[in-house]
Structure 1
Amino acid sequence: DIMDVNARFESLETNPALNQVMAPNEPVALITMSADINNNQSFMNMCIPYISVEKYIDKFVIQYRNQSSPTVSSENKKNIESDISDVKVDACVELGTTNIKIKDFINLNIGDCIKLNTKVGETLDLCIEGEPHYKVSPGKIGKKIGAQIVEIYSKDVDNHE
């Protein structure tokens, strides 16, 4: 054990903007825990000012700083994939952008055309949750507008095994 702690609940602040008890640039120890309450599992963060643990810092060793395992078992990976496979995400294809004057915006009518920054036949970005992940070509699927994936971005996306 590193130190004995006697904890008690005093209050709960749900708006972190209202709960500032130290300078914004003050170093802190951030502890993330998994909490299981009434079969609902979630994470809890505890933020402790450095000055509160400074006298105990020499008792910390590497094994206490990070107890999480760097590897995930294949069973855990399958469980996670199963849990998130039905989660819906926002997907959007943007045809293009432009800048217009407010007077032109106010006077827009049905049938008006707006020149965009993209060219006909040019690939477009398919964004997932606001981040571009694919290049697509617009088209038609039955009676609906569709998009065919022509390129996959590899940035910030782990390869699926």
Structure 2
Amino acid sequence: MGDRHEGIEVVKEFLHPSEVETLLRSVEGGSPVPRGAEGTLPWDFKRPERASKEQISALANLHEIFARSFGASLSGLLRTVTEVRLEAVTQMSYQEFTASLPNPTCYTVFACEPIGGQMMIEFGPSVMFPIIDRLLGGSQAGATVPDRPLTAIEWTLASTIARRALADLEGMWGSVRKLTFRTASSESNPLLLQSMPPNELVVVVGFVVRVGEVEGRAHVCIPYVTIEPLVGEVQAHSWYPPAGSAAAATAVQGALAEAAVRVSVVLAETTVTLRDLLTLEPGDLVETDRPAAGPVSILVEGKRKYLGRAVACRNRYAVMVEGPDGRRG
């Protein structure tokens, strides 16, 4: 109860000595005052964690698909073994994300249609320069990473890599909802592109990209406001079809469809002695038992798979496949 004094109610309530002691102890120790209600959680209004653990886990599963697809795309483009591995999925402010990136780097902002908004993808110089060197015919082994922005020619090649990544991202999101990505701008210094407020929450997906013996990092930055309409669909999606199902077989076939295999043709085979081999000279003929018009063997990765016939097509040697080779091995 309280008394009224000139229209103001004065509440006569006093803290118990034990409550005063608890309050002073919490202030001196820097710890928050314990609450009586159970289930309360701390909340930082400057850095709200808007994406739940379930949503982060669903986004991680989704980008595992992108990592495998993009790794296969890079392997086919660079003609070398390339691995893209998901490293982490974290939440932070956009300012923290841009501050954590190297400068200069390869930073691309792309628009997302039809949901609106933007996303970003970044390739660190430790992986982009070796990729460009490989595309220009060099060897990434022992390649040094220059401390400078990309030149105009290098940006053209980097844009090719970015477009490959956006195509694989479209395919990844296509299992949730059909999206179209369009490059909006590119920059070597991420701080020059003020794409959103510094305190805006973003989900950062980090990848480790390994090209041959060279390893670097790449990031996909997803503003939460952009994917907020999709997080429910992402979380409810089933990413791994049951083993042995038609969907699982289709997924495996789709992942392997772009894999490169070596095909060779054996016109004829024979056996010679070492003495004859050592006396071979230009102009000598090596006879075989195979008829000139007989079938030839078509090998896939060194294994006999098909029989064919040697023909000419547009002034080039070619092989017409006639059927499976019964002598597989």
With normalisation by structure 2, the TM-score equals: 0.25
State the structure with bigger RCO (CA 8 A, min sep 6), 1 or 2: 2
Return the structure number with greater helix share. Answer: 2
TM (norm. structure 1) is 0.48
